[in-house]
Amino acid sequence: MAVIDPADNASDASIVFSINMFLIAFVTLFAIVRLPRLFSLLRIPSEWKNGHILRYAPYRPYRPSVQATHNEHPPHSSPEDHEPEPDEAHALNPHTHHVRRFTHEGTLITMDLPPHIPACIKPLRPLMTPLRARIAPGFSVAQMLVISVYFYSLLYPAFYHSNIFTDSARTGWICIAQMPFVFLFAQKNNVVGWIIGYGYEKLNFIHRFAGRIVVLAANIHSLHYFYLWSLQGTLAESMKGSHAIWGTVALICLDMIVFFSTEYWRQKAYNLFLTTHIIGFILVMPALYMHKPPMLPYIFACSSLYIFDHLARLIKSRLTIAHIRPLPELDLTRVEIPRINAGWRAGQHVRLRVLSAKMGWMGWAEVHPFTIASVAENVPEGMVLMCKRTGGWTRKLYEIAKLGANEEGGIGGRQVTVIVDGPYGGPQHTVFSSFSAAVFVAGGSGITFALSVIQDLVQKDLRGASRVKIIELIWIVPDIACLAPILPTLSMLVVQSVLTPLRINVFYTRAPTAEKPAFFTAATLDPSSSAHHPAQFPLGLTVTPGKPRLLNFLEHAINHAVTLGHSNPNDEVPSLTGLVVGVCGPVSMADDVAAAVNGVDAARRDQVGGIELHEEVFGW
């Protein structure tokens, strides 16, 4: 076996450590750039105080009232201004008056508009279009640049004063030095993510790439020795050494983790994917230490990150009772948790574990993320989740709910014990109420994200705490029957949005196979209209076959924001603060929305104050 000079080991370790310091400096620089946005969030107590710990608060409905008086200064118009269509005219009407907000006790509400810090300054806005462009489904140019910086940073220590084909120690140090990054970007409670304003799900692509780098370096490191020992004829004897045995154990664990992390196993056997991850990382840490004790600082860093994350999960978890009932039209299970009604921000999600024997002998071990569909402290039923029936676990949950509904005559549900962990993700540093216009695109069960955010915006507007002047919701469903259980909620939202125009546009992509639902027929203004014309619903809600032209909706929101933004010369803050576009749905839908955002003309984008895209994507 070759003799390794300790001085060379020290050199390899120091070179790799210096690269880690460079990567940390790179992240720190990005965090500094994002600090103004973080500071603007900290100026809004209602935003930063929530989104961390779930809790229960006494339900106190807040019912402000609105009084409108005639506006002596009508908005300026020009031939180029957008003229609202007849069904839109009612939405503009409240904004042609001077509006005053009162509490239910008759006290005048003082306007408290949130500060707005754009994610990108105006001179750099042209760069956002290419950065948002997709080079693969769900993978943007911006993500590719991050991966490239990371990859080429590691090429330097791999080749600097080293031959990757003959120097085995260098790749071994690269492997262990990147392990803390693998753990860091895998944590649900990611401190770095909170500082820079990205949830763990947005940073998971770095975790995967770093994991592949670790496995690649580990295999190159091992092959060096296997090849060298084979040439020397000492393979069998060398493999008996303790450092070789533990190195082989670590290699097998790492290879097992990356193999069962592929898309096939994640989709077809989630429990196997999860189990191999847990067992692999439990074994690999002591194996690496036994293989090479000088690696202890990196092993300690990985263990500390892992322990911190799981302690935070324990603190954020709640054991409680949930009421579940099926919604056949949407093919999902509605979960209501009355004892949790506060502590989250609109758009966040929780991780749900169901403790029931009917979920299967390993069902209790599975944890699944679901977006919160309700607004904190404003609904008597508490936290509401919509669990789409897509895999084995969600199918079992649906069957339990369905069985309970059958036992109660079709109107009830069933109680189950659950553990709720969260909240996570969501808007982070983005404050939706600080924008001048908002467009939300939802696919299927992604409506939960849009419902919670829009409810939050409407209520903040009634309290004088929102800048949003126009809200557009585009919901894409496979069948018009999906609208039935959500229709009352959507109608109520339109009624409540007395100050901010809200348009809800439902598109169904599959032709009805049976008779149209009663609500659809009753709402149609023109019974003789063909299938190619949208059915008009009251209060600005429309249902249309086919797929939406997303760019048209973005242009519509910009037009209204610009028009309404200058409708009152006495407005305290007449400048426009941008358009926020939120999408929740499959990867392909998010890619389509990103393409539509990139399709907006640069002049129109600057006119509204910039466009920001917020994505909540289904999948891995």
Out of 98-107, 237-246, 293-302, 346-355, least confident range: 98-107
In contact, 112 and 464? CB cutoff 8 Å = yes
Answer whether the bond into residue 501 is a cis peptide, omega within 30°: no
Domains of the chain, earliest start first: 44-59+105-115+316-425 (2.40.30.10), 432-512+535-617 (3.40.50.80)
Alpha helices in 73-112 (DSSP H): 89-92
**Using one digit for the tens of pLDDT, what is the confidence trace for 387-445?**
988 878 889 999 999 887 666 554 456 899 999 998 999 899 999 999 999 999 999 88
Q: Is the pLDDT of residue 138 over 70?
A: yes
Tell whether the model's pLDDT for residue 258 goes beyond 50: yes
Q: What pLDDT shows up at residue 538? A: 57
Give the per-residue pLDDT at 406.
Answer: 61
**Nearest C-alpha neighbor of 387 from the set 403, 399, 402, 369:** 369
Instruction: Answer yes or no: are the C-beta atoms of 221 and 292 closer than 8 Å.
Output: no
What does DSSP assign to residue 471?
A: E
User: Residue 524 above 70 pLDDT?
Assistant: no
Residues in CB range of 83: below 8 A, 6 or more apart: none
pLDDT band at 529 (very low <50, low <70, confident <90, very high): very low
Top pLDDT among 166 and 142 is at 142
Q: Which two tokens stand for residue 92?
A: 């503009």
Cα–Cα nearest to 398, from 374, 416, 419: 416
- Report the side by side order of strands in the sheet with 502-508: 535-537, 541-545, 502-508, 470-477, 437-443, 579-585, 611-617
Closest CA to 398 of 447, 325, 337, 330: 325
Least confident of 125-129, 164-168, 372-376, 404-408: 404-408
